[in-house]
């Protein structure tokens, strides 16, 4: 019975993350995305830490494949497995998961708020560094890096709003479901 409970909990967590990743296919403002919320949700709820990295990253990669090859396919020559700068986006994602493993040991509103805001800052710093480092738009000096960060500031508001929204949505949906269906509550067996 405990094994079935673990499988059901894992499946619900995974489904929520996959649905969040696929929500990227719905038209939305630039940078209003589920990335931070997915990373934090996985970090907080998977019993085995490896799943906190694997499932959200693979879910995001699947949505990237669809976005890059179906939605934006006309902008690329051939099939795109990874877009330019993807490694920085996925690196930010991994850092957000790591942060969430420490900041969300107890799931409380202040911890969620701090973590979502931290996720926004991490994503902003890492992704803009990636634009500067791997692109040709900015000079490869400190001034160019600062210009890149400055150019990213208008997008930061949507990043914060997206991280707050998706964190609230994922954690809220799961906690409400766990109250309605106690079988979803954490089991003290690694899964």
Percent of the chain, pLDDT > 70? 95
What is the pTM (predicted TM-score) of this model?
0.89
CB 45 within 8 Å of CB 177: no
pLDDT at position 16 over 60: yes
Determine, yes or no, domain membership for 190.
no
Q: Is the pLDDT of residue 189 over 70?
A: no
189 domain residue, yes or no: no
Confirm whether 28 is domain-assigned. Answer: yes
At 21-32, the pLDDT tens digits run 999 989 889 899
For residue 37, is it within any domain? yes
**Tens digit of each residue's pLDDT (9 = 90 or more) over 136-180:** 899 999 999 999 999 999 999 999 999 999 999 999 999 999 999
- Domain assignment present for residue 88? The answer is yes
Tell me the pLDDT band of 1, cut-offs 50, 70 and 90: low
Reported as a single tens digit per residue, the pLDDT across 112-139 is: 999 999 999 999 999 999 999 988 899 9
pLDDT of residue 188: 57
- What average pLDDT does the segment 94-106 reach? 96
Q: Per the domain annotation, does 119 fall within a domain?
A: yes
What is residue 191's predicted lDDT score, i.e. its pLDDT?
43
| Residue range of the domain that includes 57 | 2-184
Classify residue 123: in a domain, yes or no.
yes
55-65 pLDDT per residue, tens? 989 998 999 89
**Total number of domains in the chain:** 1
| 3-state secondary structure string across the chain | CHHHHHHHHHHHHHHHHHHHHHHHHCCCCCCCCCHHHHHHHHHHHCCCHHHHHHHHHHHHHHHHHHHHHHHCHHHCCCCCCCCCCHHHHHHHHHHHHHHHHHHCCCCCHHHHHHHHHHHHHHHHHHHHHHHHHHCCCCCCCHHHHHHHHHHHHHHHHHHHHHHHHHHHHHHHHHHHHHHHCHHHCCCCCCC
Residue 191 domain-assigned (yes or no): no
Residue 85 has pLDDT above 50, yes or no: yes
């Amino acid at each position: 019975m405990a094994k079935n409970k673990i499988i059901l909990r894992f499946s619900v967590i995974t489904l929520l993350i996959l649905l969040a990743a696929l929500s990227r296919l719905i038209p939305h403002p630039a940078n209003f995305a589920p990335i931070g919320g997915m990373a934090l949700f996985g970090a907080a709820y998977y019993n085995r830490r490896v799943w906190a990295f694997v499932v959200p990253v693979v879910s995001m990669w699947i949505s990237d494949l669809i976005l890059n090859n179906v939605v934006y396919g006309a902008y690329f020559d051939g099939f795109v497995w990874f877009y330019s700068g993807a490694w920085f986006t996925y690196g930010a994602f991994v850092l957000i998961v790591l942060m969430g493993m420490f900041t969300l040991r107890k799931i409380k509103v202040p911890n969620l708020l701090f973590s979502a805001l931290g996720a926004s800052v991490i994503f902003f710093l890492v992704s803009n560094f990636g634009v500067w480092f791997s692109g040709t738009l900015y000079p490869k000096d400190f001034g160019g890096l600062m210009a890149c960060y400055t150019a990213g500031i208008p997008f930061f508001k949507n990043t914060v709003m997206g991280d707050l929204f998706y964190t609230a949505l994922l954690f809220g949906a799961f906690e409400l479901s766990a109250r309605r269906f106690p079988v979803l509550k954490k089991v003290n067996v690694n899964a």
